[in-house]
Structure 1
Amino acid sequence: MTEVLPHLPPPFEIRGRALPHPRLRGRFTRADLGRGPYWVSQGNKWCDLCKIFISNNPFSIRTHELGKRHKDNVTQRLSTMQKDGAAKEKEQQQAAKALQLIEAKAKKSYQKDLENNQRNTDGDSSAAPGEGWVFDSTSGYYYDKATGLYYDSNSGFYYSDGLGKWVTQEEAYKWAETSKTNVAQSSTSQPKTPSGGGPVAGIKGGPAPGVVVKKPLNPMRAVKGAPSALAANKRKREDTKKPKVVSKEEEAALRAREAARKRVEDREKPLMGLYKTY
């Protein structure tokens, strides 16, 4: 807003700037007018719907609000707000309906669990899949000793230690038949003891009859570096190399090379960290 003293008339605009009243111009310098309470900046107003600036005066604001562009933007904003509200309300209704369904299923499952628990406590065998099934209070399932299967009355699946997982009735009984067949085959394949005759003579230890020849099983193993049959017939090559004749110049060059190598080695010994230099 424009800051004006109460006993003075309102300022006027010159090219977008509010200046003090002409009667007060001579009393202030230009620097005082820039910092004083009478230098007022006439700011523009921002329209959030149209995303533009307009002059901050009642006439400009009213003219802009009555324009077609502003009215269209207002209508579009109201329509968007209504759509958002309807979508939010629909989402809330769907969430409430889903919660009601979840609560109903939970109550139904809870009642079913209570009935099963009461039936198991009373010893009712009506939930058993057939005869021979006994309720195991330790595991909470029905157990058939003949097949080694467990039965869950709630899900209707069968379990066995051999299977290691819950399966349907068909798979469970198929596995039971297969296991019985395997057990029968293993029992029939076991060797039988002789039925008739006296006791079987035991094998007694002792030396075998006849002359015993004391000869090692592998006579060549104890001999170190025993030659093979092919190596025995192979002619050995004699070392007939003659010593090489070295001239005096070559011998002097070799001595000089050895002396240079020793000098380099002595010079690099302290740098290797293996010898003390003091």
Structure 2
Amino acid sequence: MTERWKSNPMYWCELCRVWMNDSKAAKFNHEQGVKHKENLARKLRDMSKKADAEKQEQEHAVAAMDSIEAKARKQYEADQAAAQAQAGKWVWHEGSGYYYNAAHRWYFDVKTSYYYGGEPVAWTQQPGIPSAAMFGVAPFEGGDAAAQAAAKAAAAAAASKAGGGAAASSKPAVAGAAADGQGVRVVKKVVQLPSHPLSGVGGHAMPVSGRIGGAKGVGIADPAAAAAADAQKRKREGSSLSAAAAAGKGSKEPQNPAEAEALARREAARQRVEARTKTAFGLT
């Protein structure tokens, strides 16, 4: 009865879900058994079937995504073709010397950037046609070299007018950036935070560090005021010690041992309470 009883270590087979002795011979005999081999073969078949199913599922997902992308691309091309057909094309008209859009029956003068057409027929810069059919947005062709150059300039002006607002809003303004683009001047903004509403609570001796005190916005947050308060406290403590020392020197009567023991116990209790209080308030 002097030896401590200890059970034999056991081994758990995940395939067969049985316990056996954790020894090399027991494991070997179990793994050579018919039941263990059948369970192992069944697990390998299940793993193979699962891998095949995951592969087929992935192939189906890829095929579905390809089909969706092909349909979306085809629909996008159809929409683009429909939009181009609706916008029409500006073709150079030799008889009038203007570009003509047969889809909307409007003329465009590249020299004045005016449109001619409508009901009643008149010159205007705001024709009643879709924005996609405006000159510079819709394609144009034909004309001599001068007409081509003027048409390109008008198209660029129309494009910049149409996208100028979006381009201007998309560029964020950088504070302090140089006008010539040579450099960027970093400007730091100083924010004056409001003081804590309870900054005057806690008394003159409240510490300025730890979880209670300056970290919470309570007590003396000014270092100079804290140093002055600390110096005044040390001065008071020094005067108290001097008075106690003078009183002790003037007293020639020996102190009672029981009284000395009681004073020592009281001082030890006071130190324990002070340590617990500092720990509770996070001052240590």
Higher helix share: 2
- Which structure has the larger Rg? 1
How high is the TM-score relative to the length of structure 1? 0.32
